[in-house]
Structure 1
């Protein structure tokens, strides 16, 4: 996925979860939308380099969107909505080998109890429900999910288990949106209930896939398969 034109700046502060004050390299001071509801631990700090996109849409209150940050030499895509887009591209381009062989791909399909599955894959004989999670947290020498307690994430796991019980295929796909190339694990010290729910889901037949992104200032794409270390 190619980024729209990126504008570089430095972070002043992030607040109210979805807002960030930024000074662009041009000297302009802006407030950008932060499309990330998580804690963003380890991927943002005062004065860190950031990149934003500009959207000249009269319906938007904030014209800028935070897309990338840089911590030390690591580029991080903090826009969680990107994960679904690059996952869909990777399936269509044959990068995710485990999710090939389906005739149709439908994003945001209603299922379960008042939920939407990120990706529904179908062919004549099978439905495959794919839930996508964006990974941006670093803990010691691991990348991890989640970065905050996620009751919504646990609910998604429960619903994937329900799909398996109905005879369908269900996949939990973790998309790493950092360039560290470190092992991936579950942040059980942050959300032990999610950790237990994932174990139960795997025991019930839910598959887990982990893929690493390749990120630069022009594009972000899923590139290589990684693995989960419990």
Structure 2
């Protein structure tokens, strides 16, 4: 199965979150330095970022950055494993899996390109089957888990509802369309829409399924070494 290794990591303790994309953390090594850390996941993550939570950070790539470090993963609330904090990682995993033909959900399909435009939107991936018929695929990252159930979203997402509605429109026109929820942790047995947080998204998802959009779920195995694409899990609407 597809595995993406992490860069060298340093353990730190979460102190506070000044805004959606910024953390303040203290290294646990001898230096105990307090640093600003970029968070590549704008979700609420309220159950994750509690004072004292252990997280692991890496030196950030690129120049002219406001922060030297980026958050990579955190310990789970139950303390029995880890979860990824990078909302871009699911697309990287799926792209690698599609190239290596590791996704049974789309056996017989070939990856054509990322960021495929259809109508007024761009979707994460465009695939073609053996006959050249296109399939538009959108990926959603899941980090919120309660009692083994993964929920999406953890904050209202007008953009997410728009994507789902447009996938339904594509399916209604006879095109193929699919949505994959990828849980960035292993302690997940199923995925559901979070009705209380975003009822509009939940209703859009049900309408998309009725229109013929394929709805799929998978989880990941996360360790201090990297992330591995895990097994399929059901999505209940």
- TM score, norm. by length of structure 1: 0.94
Provide, for residues 81-128 of structure 1, a one-character-per-residue CA deviation record: whole Å limited to 9, x for no partner. Answer: 111111112222333201122233311122231x32111112443111
Structure 1 vs Structure 2 CA RMSD: 1.5
* Bigger shift: residues 99-108 or 64-73: 99-108
List structure 1 runs of 4+ shifted beyond 3 angstroms: none
How many residues are aligned here?
Answer: 229
Partner of 2:33: 28
Say if 2:76 is the partner of 1:63: no
Say if 2:214 is the partner of 1:214: no
What secondary structure does 1:36 align onto? Answer: coil
How far residue 178 of structure 1 moved from its aligned partner, in angstroms, is 1.4
CA–CA distance in structure 1, aligned partners of residues 224 and 154 of structure 2: 25
What secondary structure does 2:202 align onto? Answer: helix
* Bigger shift: residues 95-104 or 5-14: 95-104
| Structure 2 residue runs without a partner (length 5+) | none
Pairs within 5 Å for 1:180-191: 180-191=187-198
Does the 8 A contact of 2:148 with 2:187 survive in 1? Answer: no
For residues 10 and 192 of structure 1, do their structure 2 counterparts lie closer, same or farther at Cα, with a shift above 3 Å needed? same
CA–CA distance in structure 1, aligned partners of residues 21 and 124 of structure 2: 22
CA–CA distance in structure 2, aligned partners of residues 94 and 41 of structure 1: 36
CA–CA distance in structure 2, aligned partners of residues 176 and 104 of structure 1: 22
Say if 2:33 is the partner of 1:6: no
Say if 2:85 is the partner of 1:82: no
Pairs within 5 Å for 1:107-146: 107-113=114-120, 115-123=121-129, 124-146=131-153
Say if 2:201 is the partner of 1:194: yes
Aligned with residue 91 of structure 1, among 88, 95, 98 = 98
Does the 8 A contact of 2:141 with 2:182 survive in 1? Answer: yes
For residues 117 and 140 of structure 1, do their structure 2 counterparts lie closer, same or farther at Cα, with a shift above 3 Å needed? same
How far residue 56 of structure 1 moved from its aligned partner, in angstroms, is 5.4
- TM score, norm. by length of structure 2: 0.91
Does the 8 A contact of 1:108 with 1:117 survive in 2? Answer: yes
How far residue 23 of structure 1 moved from its aligned partner, in angstroms, is 0.5
CA–CA distance in structure 2, aligned partners of residues 105 and 64 of structure 1: 33
How far residue 141 of structure 1 moved from its aligned partner, in angstroms, is 4.2
